[in-house]
Amino acid sequence: MKSKRVEVLFDPKEYRTLEEKAQTEGRSVGSMIREAVAMYVVSPSEREKQEALEWIFAGEDDLGSWEELKDIIQRGPAEEMMEIERDLEADRR
């Protein structure tokens, strides 16, 4: 349940663009902003990406087959994505 509120000021032209895009997609401006924040926060930093590559290339663990790895990579952070999808669905109702 969302319980924190934040006020964000936009240039009128930027806000109109957000409103138009939201309307085109059949969703609220708020849901678009929450999605953008979630993507920014969930997205790994450059340092995290570098550490992951170093771990993979170190070869110390059995990572499974390439097909298994591709499947894991494509799924991404499942829990965060499911929560974003639930929020988007709630905003569309």
Which residues in the chain show pLDDT less than 70?
A: 63, 76-84, 92-93
Using alpha carbons, select from 40, 27, 42, 38 the residue that is nearest to residue 2. Answer: 38
Checking phi first, is residue 6 left (phi over 0); if not, alpha (psi -120 to 50) or beta?
Answer: beta
**Beta strand spans in 4-57 (E):** none
Q: What is the pTM of this model?
A: 0.48
Q: In whole angstroms, what is the distance from residue 35 CA to residue 82 CA?
A: 12
Query: Which amino acid is it at 64?
Result: G
Report pLDDT for 83: 62
Retrieve residue 6's tokens: 């934040």
pLDDT, residue 19, reads 96
Phi, psi of 43 (to 5 degrees): -60, 130
